[in-house]
Structure 1
Amino acid sequence: MKRFLRDNGLGLAFALLFLASLVGQAFAGNAALNEHRLTDGGDPVGLWQYVVSSDFAVDVAENWQSEYLQFFVFIFATVWLVQRGSTESKPAKRLGRESDEEQSLGAHGKPESPPWARAGGWRTRLYSNSLGLVMLALFLGSWGAQSIAGHSAYNNEQLVDFQDPVSWGRYVLSADFWNRSLQNWQSEFLAIGSMAVFSVYLRQRGSSQSKPVGAPHTATDENG
């Protein structure tokens, strides 16, 4: 068990942080909603009623979709784009998809290589893009969930204000939907771009996201 915890510490730690943050968001969001409802003369709602509501779902989904969009764009962008000196970039000499030999694919596979990397054909092609495709699927799924939950929450507000509800198609073209999406996208692109540039000049001793403290600024694709 001790070895398992050591070997999976990063994933487990972030899983716990995720759950703690999600629970905290539920309590804080419920309190904020009830404060708003009481101000408007409405009745407060219980925690579970809030957790299964569209208000909670849209807040969660809009954050998830922006995170997965960030990873999807960054994964594919780093195939063709480089940032000299950044730990988030590969060296310019490896620009592009690289050769089968460099990637240990097909006949160039090693005994310890994943089976689909050595299989050749469609399985190797699929596996060669599996990380980006999964991130794309998660982004589209969570963005779709945001649109559905946001549509429901938006129409609830419309009814409270004695206005007609709108169709899903009209909602996804609305300012509300795109404001929710774009306010998250810009922060994600800013964060990942900042990290790529800051890692050229700044260091964090012992972190895999940083070069060794004494490495030159021009050293690329190195971590300590």
Structure 2
Amino acid sequence: MRRFLRDNALSLAFGLLFLLSLAGQAFAGLADYNDRRLSHAAESIGLLDYLTSADFAVDVAENWQSEYLQFFLYVFATVWLLQRGSPESKPRGRAGLETDKEQQIGRHSTADSPKWARAGGWRTGIFSMSLGLVMLGLFLLSWLAQSVAGMSAYNAEQLTEFGDPESWSGYLASADFWNRTLQNWQSEFLAIGSMAVFSVYLRQRGSPESKPVGAPHHVTDESG
């Protein structure tokens, strides 16, 4: 058990932080939701009802989709785009898909290489893009969930104000949907762009996301 905890400490720590923050969001969201209901002379609801509501679902999904979009774009963008001096970037001259030898696939694979990396053909082709494709799939699924839950929450609010409900396609073109979407996207793009630039000039000793403390600013793709 001790070895398992040591070998998986990073994923376990962030998994626990995720659950704690999700629980905190649920209780804070419930309090805010009930305050809004009381202001409209409606009865408050319990935690279970809130957790199964469209309001909670859309708040969760809109954050998930922006995170997975960030990872999808970063995984694919760093194949071709470079940032000199950043450990988040490949060095100049390695832009692109790289050779089979550099990627250790096909006849250049080793006995410890993943099976599909050694297989060749369509299996190696799919496996070589599997990380980005999974990130893309999770982004699209969570964005779809946001649109459906957002439509439901939006229509519920419309009905309380005696407005007309929107269809799903109508909601996709609404200001509410794009306001929820773009306010998350812009923060993700700012954060990831800032990290790429700050890591050129700043250091965090012992972190693989940083260059060694004494590495020159211009050195690229060197983790420490």
TM-score band w.r.t. shorter chain = over 0.9
- Give unpaired runs (5+ residues) of structure 2: none
Q: Which runs of 4+ in 1 moved over 6 A?
A: none
Superposed CA offset, 1:150-194 (max 9, x none)? 000000001000111110000001110011000000000000000
Other structure's SS at 2:223 match = coil
The residue number in structure 1 matching 2:94 is: 94
Query: Structure 1 CA distance, aligned partners of 2:119 and 2:5?
Result: 33
- Rounded to whole Å, the distance in 1 between the matches of 2:153 and 2:73 is 29
Per-residue deviation at 1:35? Answer: 1.0
Question: In 1, Cα distance between the equivalents of 2:37 and 2:95?
Answer: 55
Question: Partners in 1 of 2:178 and 2:92 — Cα distance?
Answer: 36
1:13 alignment partner in structure 2: 13
Q: Secondary structure at the match of 1:158?
A: helix
- Cα offsets for 1:29-65 (capped at 9, x unmatched): 0000111111221111101100100000000000000
Secondary structure in 1 aligned to 2:93?
A: helix
Q: Work out whether 1:40 is the aligned partner of 2:44.
A: no
Q: Which residue of 1 aligns with 2:204?
A: 204
Which stretch has the larger CA shift, 29-38 or 52-61?
29-38
2:145 is equivalent to residue 145 of structure 1: yes
Q: Tell me which residue corresponds to 2:121.
A: 121
Aligned residue for 1:111? 111
Aligned residues, how many? 224
Structure 1 unaligned blocks of 5 or more = none
Q: Give the match's secondary structure for 1:94.
A: coil
Give the corresponding residue for 1:187: 187
Indicate the residue corresponding to 2:74 in structure 1: 74
Aligned mates of 1:141, 1:42 — CA distance in 2 = 33
Give me the whole-angstrom Cα distance separating, in 1, the residues matched to 2:92 and 2:111.
29
Task: Measure the CA separation in 1 of the matches of 2:105 and 2:205.
Answer: 34
TM-score (norm: length of structure 1): 0.99
Alpha-carbon distance between aligned partners in 2 of 1:174 and 1:184, rounded to the nearest angstrom: 16
State the superposition RMSD in angstroms: 0.6
Amino acid at match of 1:107: R
Does 2:135 align with 1:135?
yes
- Give the Cα–Cα distance (whole angstroms) in 1 for the partners of residues 42 and 100 of structure 2: 64
In 2, distance between residues paired with 1:45 and 1:27?
Answer: 12
Amino acid at match of 2:28: A
